[in-house]
Amino acid sequence: MSGWTIGIIGGSGLYGVDGIEEGEWVEVASPWGLPSDKLFRGRVGHARVVFLPRHGRGHRISPSELNARANIDVLKRVGVTDVLAISSVGSLAEDRPPGSFTVADQFIDRTKGRSSSFFGTGMVSHVSMADPVCPRLSALAAQAARAAGAQVHDGGTYLAMEGPQFSTRAESRLYRSWGCDIIGMTAMPEAKLAREAELPYALVGMVTDYDCWREDEAVVDVAQVMAQLSDNAAKARGLVTHLLRNLPVERPASPIDTCLDAALITAPGARDPAVLAKLDAVAGRALRRAEV
pLDDT at position 250 is 92
Low-confidence ranges of the chain (pLDDT < 70): 1, 12-13, 15, 217-221, 224, 290-292
pLDDT at position 1 is 44
pLDDT at position 289 is 84
* Residues annotated catalytic, as ranges: 209, 211
pLDDT at position 218 is 67
3-state SS, one letter per residue, for 67-110: CHHHHHHHHHHCCCCEEEEEEEEEECCCCCCCCCEEECCEEEEE
pLDDT at position 226 is 72
Domains annotated on the chain, with CATH: 5-291 (3.40.50.1580)
pLDDT at position 147 is 97
Whole-structure pTM over 0.85, yes or no? yes
Rounded CA separation 44/267 (Å) = 43
